[in-house]
Amino acid sequence: MKAIKAKILTVRSWAEKNERYLVPAFFIGGLIFDNLTLTRIDRVFDNVILLGYLFIATASIILINLFQARNIENKWKSFLLLLTQFAFGGLFSGYVIFYTKSASLASSWIFLLVIYGFFIGNERFRKYYNDFNFQIKVLFVAIFSYLIFFVPVVLKKIGSGIFLLSGVISLVVIYALMFFFFKYISHLGLKREKKLTRDIFLIFLGFNLMYFTNIIPPVPLSLKQLEVYHYVEKTSDGNYLVREEKFNFLKDAYRDWKNEFNKMNNNSPVYVYASVFAPTDLNTEITHIWQRYDEKIGEWVTLNEVSYAIKGGRDKGYRGYSLMNNAIDGKWRVYVKNNKGQVLGKIKFEIKKVDSVELVTKII
């Protein structure tokens, strides 16, 4: 027993001595681990990992404050702070992966900035993890950010009502935890309780503001592929036959950079093909919004909206397409949105009339 205790003390001493190297090592290691293991937002293994991080963070916060309340000079306090930092780093690393997959940068950059800020800034937050208010605020952000996509995965539904339910559950969990702390931990005063209760509710309102202004990405949906083609047809075996301009490296590198789409006449249609991932058994609807830039008025004008149902479960996403007949020359863009109007992605291209176009056919 003495030998085991001696080894534990040696490990603790080594960890404290090399803390400045361990923190970035945990940071980089956690990021690599999450990128290799977190692959699907509805996979049991992925959610077990994230729930494990939440449990570690919550347990560490409870122990840290219990030791402080009883004035216990605990030798493991520095380790608990490091463990809290590790857990939050793992959580926000996972959120970076899942939210980035679902995000359109143009509409969701504010929320992504918040998530990336928590992830990148986690290394500098350690000195604040001693503060109870800071601990609880970060924990609430972590819980709410997780439930935003976990509740839809469990209930197989998405929408405003599901988001509000996620928020209410987050509030109940964090306020229950706060009740435990303020009832059983003596060093936390009434003034702190009132201020923290208010601050948590303000964070809750901030999340709702970002959701109802479509700043939060449309998790758990994510756009896997978005292409423009000369022709798209679903085959009898469930795949898609598409026709596109034959690839020429030197010529097409410039054309792709300019987002040019060549066609021979204005009567031929243009197709936009999209593949959207949704969790298993989650069925919803997406919309393609076709817009053309009107040079005369200097604005994008919506010319067509096409909606269709998608079914969740396919790793590479549910596939579908829309088309625009008689698409004339000019600048075009097509948005892919969910039924709430959140942007999953968009594609921009400029249609140019040419004398001839060499097409190739492929199955995708």
Residue 79: what residue type?
Answer: F
Beta bridge partners, 322, equal: 272
Residues 109-126 pLDDT 10s: 888 888 888 877 776 776
Report the distance separating Cα 61 and Cα 222, nearest Å.
33
Q: What mean pLDDT is predicted for residues 4-28?
A: 63
Residue 285: what residue type?
Answer: E
Q: How far is CA 331 from CA 28, 189, 293, 295, 337, in A?
A: 42, 61, 5, 9, 20
229 pLDDT exceeds 60?
yes
What's the pTM value of the predicted model, to 2 decimals? 0.87
Pairing status of strand 343-353 against strand 260-263: parallel
Domain with CATH 2.60.40.1930 in the chain: 222-363
Residues 43-75 pLDDT 10s: 999 999 999 999 999 999 998 888 777 666 566
pLDDT number for residue 145:
97
Report the distance separating Cα 335 and Cα 216, nearest Å.
17
Q: Which of 292 and 1 is assigned the larger pLDDT?
A: 292
Predicted confidence band at 8 (pLDDT cuts at 50, 70, 90)? low
Its CATH class, for the domain covering 222-363, is mainly beta
